[in-house]
Amino acid sequence: MRVLLIGPPASGKGTQGRRLAALFEVSYLSSGELLRAEVSAGTPLGQQVAEDLARGDLVPDEVILDVLRPPLQAALRSGGYLLDGFPRTVAQARALDGWATAVGGQPEAAVWFDVADDELLRRSRSRASIEGRADDVSAVARHRIDVYNAATAPLIDYYRQAGILIHVDAAQPIDTVAATVDAALAPFDVRGH
C-alpha cells in the first residue's frame, strides 16, 4: 500500500494515519514528527529547522527531502508507506515522483482531508492546550493554515490530474472519517489475510 495523506494542520490526518498504519500494517512516516525529533535531539539539522517549525513555515524542500529519503526507501523495501505531511509543495511531489518511478513506488492514492479554516482553528486551539504543541497557538496556527492554502493546496489538483485523489469530508466526527477512509483504502489493502 502506498498512500499520501494531504490536509491542513489539525485536519486529523495524523490521528487517522497512525490508526491506518496499524490497520493495514504499513510504515507510517510523518515528516513533521521526523523534524520535531531532530529539533528535540538538538542535531545540526534540528537547529537549522527549529525556527521554521516554531514560526509555522515550511522547511526548505532540500532539507525535508534529505530527512525523508532514508526512511522512505526503507519503507518501500518493506512493502509500502503511509506518508503524512509529505509532499507539501508541488516541487516535493515531483521529487517523490522521481524517486518513486526509479524504484516502482508511485503513490496509489492521495487522501485529501478537507476541513474549513474556521474548524481547523477551533481544533488547533484545543490541541494547543491538550498536547502542548507550540505551533498550535493561534497566530502560528493561522499562519500554518495560510501556508497550507498557498503552498500545499495546489497538490489537490496535482493528484486529481494524476487520477489518484480521494476526497474526504474530514469535518465529520472521527469515527465517521475513519469509516470513510477505511472503505476508500480497502482496494489498496495488500495484506495476505
Binding site for ligand AMP (CB under 6 A): 9, 31-32, 35, 52-53, 56-59, 64, 85-86, 88, 92, 135, 144
Q: How far is the CB of 16 from ligand AMP (least distance, A)?
A: 13
CA distance 19 to 131: 18
Which C-beta is closer to ligand AMP: that of 56 or that of 80?
56
Query: Least distance to ligand AMP from the beta carbon of 188, Å?
Result: 22
Report the residue number, 21 or 64, with the smaller CB distance to ligand AMP.
64
| Least distance (Å) between residue 101 CB and ligand AMP | 19
Cα(158)–Cα(151) distance, rounded to whole angstroms?
12
In the complex, least distance from residue 135 CB atom to ligand AMP, rounded to whole angstroms: 6
Q: Which of 189, 182, 187, 136 is nearest to 16 (CA)?
A: 182
Q: Give me the least distance between CB of 1 and ligand AMP, in Å please.
A: 20
Give 140 or 168: the residue with its C-beta nearer to ligand AMP.
Answer: 140
Q: Is the alpha carbon torsion for 142, 147, 150, 155 positive or negative?
A: negative
Q: Give the span between the Cα atoms of 109 and 164, in whole angstroms.
A: 5
Q: Which residues contact 36 (CB under 8 A, 6 or more apart)?
A: 53
Q: Using CA atoms, how far apart are residues 48 and 175, in angstroms rounded to an integer?
A: 38
* Minimum distance from residue 159 beta carbon to ligand AMP (Å): 15
Q: Which residue is nearest to ligand AMP (CB)?
A: 32
- Please identify, using beta-carbon distances, which residue of 26 and 35 lies nearer to ligand AMP: 35
Q: How far apart are CA 5 and CA 188, in angstroms?
A: 14
CB nearer to ligand AMP: pick between 96 and 168: 96
Q: Cα dist. 17→4, 14, 72, 103, 183 in Å?
A: 9, 5, 15, 23, 14
- Closer residue to ligand AMP, CB minimum distance, 26 or 135: 135
